[in-house]
Amino acid sequence: MRRRARGAAGVGGFAECLVKVLASDPELESFVREGFRSVWSVEVLLLLKSNPERGWAMPEIDRELRASAMAVTAALRDLERARLIVREPREGGRYSPAEPQLADLVDRLERAYRERPVSLINLITKPGSAQGFADAFRFRGPQK
What is the three-state SS of the chain?
Answer: CCCCCCCCCCCCHHHHHHHHHHHCCHHHHHHHHHHCCCHHHHHHHHHHHHCCCCCECHHHHHHHHCCCHHHHHHHHHHHHHCCCEEECCCCCEEECCCCHHHHHHHHHHHHHHHHCHHHHHHHHHCCCHHHHHHHCCCCCCCCC
Domain residue spans in the chain? 25-121
- 0.85 cut: is pTM over it? no
Give per-residue pLDDT as tens, 49-72: 999 999 999 999 999 999 899 999
Q: What is the CATH number of domain 25-121?
A: 1.10.10.10
Q: Mean pLDDT per 10-residue run, the chain (144 residues)?
A: 46 50 78 90 96 92 92 93 88 92 96 91 74 47 51
